[in-house]
Amino acid sequence: MLLAPTIAASFRHHFQHEPLLVRAPGRVNLIGEHTDYNQGFVLPAAVDKEICFAVGLNQTDTIRLVAHDLNKTFSVAAANVQRSNTSWANYLLGVVAQFQQRGIAVPGFDCVFGGTIPMGAGLSSSAAVECGLAYALDALLHTNLDRMTLAHLAQKAEHEFALVQCGLMDQFASLFGQAGQVVRLDCRSLQYEYFPFDTQAAQVVLCNSGVKHSLASSEYNLRRQECEQGVAVLHRHYPHVLSLRDATLPQVQAHRAELGDVVYRRCRYVVEENARVEAACQHLLAGDLRAFGREMYASHAGLRDDYQVSCRELDVLVATAQQAPGVFGARMMGGGFGGCTINLVAPDQVDSFIAHQTAAYQQQLGLALETYTATIVAGVSALEPVIES
Ligand code: GAF
């Protein structure tokens, strides 16, 4: 059954009134990993794995939430929204709290949500949940917040209620995606530029390792701290260095001993990854997918060896992709410690690539592989009301 009619029908069943319908996509990131919170560059796109929301004010003081896919409900007084022990509800409550922190009164509302973004696959289902509800509440409350404000609001919800000190990439991609385009965001100036992605030349194929490391959020926050430690050292020598975005490789190398081995490696990775995003965008403009793919492989090597956020399963998937015909590039994607690899594959080789990866994953690790081909779509939007027949 189609997603939006299913979510709308569930809403009517639970709440007996008419909702606003909103869709919020997940994202891929072609290159630029762990650079967003270092004020650097990222190159994401919104994809056709989405969360659909049905939301309506309910003229009461209570917020009533239904997680359609989990078959779970949660309710709370609108005046008493706090971080809860129910992890799925926190993504929504965090958004409500952000409206309230901005002095916007949030009355009681009903919300059903569900979707097709695989959980824990690194496609940012959490950002889609946050951005979709932020967009819906903005529409229902007539607050007219612009998309960048909604992205920041959703990011802060993640910081305060999911306790992950994420950068802005995922929320930005879910809200600013454009069909058929990838978008390079400068996470310091917040300027962004769209680049057409030619699906005749390559398709985005995702290989889901199936690994969901519980370490992911604690290690993520630790990486952020290590980068901050690196900045503190570099800033003493180069006062203009306020983030790793401002540092050069020779500067990082010059202070290797003072940084210490671990922090040195983290810094080296980030500085090199920023340069790779810049180079990759030039290759994309020139239509040179082989060169683009080389940047992806180098990104993976840095994430594996210097930033140390990969895992055996992801490394196997990238190594086997590198052997497969028709593959321009592959790397792990997102925060790491599991989730998906992103692969750029010649369109006429996609089927053989998937067969190759599936067989190799089974043979080398004894694991079943799930794969998705992703289409690049527009960011969060409202949907036409679904009329029940
Ligand atoms: C996660 C975070 F949410 C993003 O902000 C980003 O840092 C990414 O990991 C790594 O590039 O998806």
pLDDT digits (tens, 9 = 90+) for 357-373: 999 999 999 999 999 99
Spacing, Cα 35 to ligand 1 middle (Å): 8
291: CA distance to ligand 1 center in Å?
Answer: 24
Are residues 51 and 182 located together in one domain of the fold?
yes
Q: Are residues 159 and 46 in the same domain?
A: yes
193-235: pLDDT as tens digits? 999 999 999 999 999 999 987 667 889 999 999 999 999 999 9
CA nearest ligand 1 atom 1, residue: 335
Query: Using CA atoms, how far apart are residues 239 and 231, in angstroms rounded to an integer?
Result: 10
Cβ–ligand 1 contact at 283 (below 6 Å): no
Whether residue 388 is contained in a domain is answered as: no
Tell me: do 250 and 115 sit in the same domain: no
Average pLDDT, the chain: 96
Q: Say whether both 158 and 251 belong to one domain.
A: no
Report whether pLDDT(388) > 90: no
Is the CB of 340 inside a 6 Å radius of any atom of ligand 1? no
Q: Does residue 279 fall inside a structural domain? A: yes
Token pair of 47, please?
A: 């994809």
Do both 41 and 187 map to the same domain? yes
Query: Do residue 293 and residue 257 come from a single domain?
Result: yes
What pLDDT shows up at residue 120? 85
Asked if the structure places residue 186 within a domain, the reply is: yes
The reply to whether 221 and 359 lie within a common domain is yes
274/42 Cα distance (integer angstroms): 8
Cα gap 201→186, rounded to integer Å: 26
So what's the pLDDT on residue 1? 63
The DSSP string of 124-183 is -HHHHHHHHHHHHHHHHHT----HHHHHHHHHHHIIIII-----SHHHHHHHH-BTTEEE
CB of 273 closer than 6 angstroms to any ligand 1 atom? no
Q: Could you read off the pLDDT of 237-286 as tens digits, one per residue?
A: 999 999 999 999 999 999 999 999 999 999 999 999 999 999 999 999 99
d(CA 81, CA 76): 7
- Domain containing residue 42: CATH number: 3.30.230.10
Beta carbon of 169 within 6 Å of any ligand 1 atom: yes
- 2 band by pLDDT with thresholds 50, 70 and 90: confident
Give the confidence band of 389 by pLDDT, cuts at 50, 70, 90: very low
Query: Please, are residues 373 and 210 in contact by the beta-carbon 8 Å criterion?
Result: no
Contact by Cβ (8 Å): 227, 264: no
From atom 9 of ligand 1, which residue's Cα is the shortest distance away? Answer: 335
pLDDT of residue 215: 63
Task: Indicate whether 268 belongs to any domain.
Answer: yes
CA 328 vs CA 170, 261, 318: distances in Å: 24, 32, 12
Residues with a catalytic annotation lie at 170
Per-residue pLDDT, 217: 80
Tell me the CATH number at 290.
Answer: 3.30.70.890
pLDDT at 250: 98
pLDDT, one tens digit per residue, over 18-38 is 999 999 999 999 999 999 999
User: Do residues 262 and 349 share a domain?
Assistant: yes
Provide ipTM, 2 decimals: 0.99
pLDDT by residue (tens digit) across 311-346?
999 999 999 999 999 999 999 999 999 999 999 999
Return the percentage of the chain with pLDDT > 90, whole number.
95
Q: Confirm whether 218 is domain-assigned.
A: yes
CA 167 to ligand 1: nearest atom: 5
Query: Do residue 240 and residue 192 come from a single domain?
Result: no
- The span from the CA of 360 to the CA of 354, in Å, is 10
- Segment 46-82, tens digit of pLDDT: 999 999 999 999 999 999 999 999 999 999 999 999 9
Is 158 close to ligand 1, i.e. is its CB under 6 Å away?
Answer: no
353 vs 170: CA distance, rounded Å = 27
Q: Is 389 among the domain residues?
A: no
Q: Could you give the angle at the alpha carbon of 296 between the alpha carbons of 365 and 249, nearest 5°?
A: 120
The answer to whether position 387 is within a domain reads: no
Q: State the total domains in the chain.
A: 2
For 21: left if phi > 0, alpha if psi spans -120 to 50, otherwise beta; the answer is beta
Q: Report the alpha-carbon distance of residue 282 to residue 57 in Å, rounded.
A: 47
Residues 180 and 264 in one domain: no
Predicted confidence (pLDDT) per residue in 93-108, tens digit: 999 999 999 999 999 9
* Residues 307 and 352 placed together within one structural domain of the fold: yes
Q: What does the pLDDT read at residue 148? A: 98
Q: Are residues 175 and 223 both part of a single domain?
A: no
Task: Find the mean pLDDT for residues 79-88.
Answer: 96
Domain span at 278: 203-374
Helical H runs in the chain?
A: 3-15, 87-101, 125-141, 147-157, 169-176, 216-237, 249-254, 256-259, 261-285, 289-305, 312-323, 350-365
- Residue 370, domain member (yes or no): yes
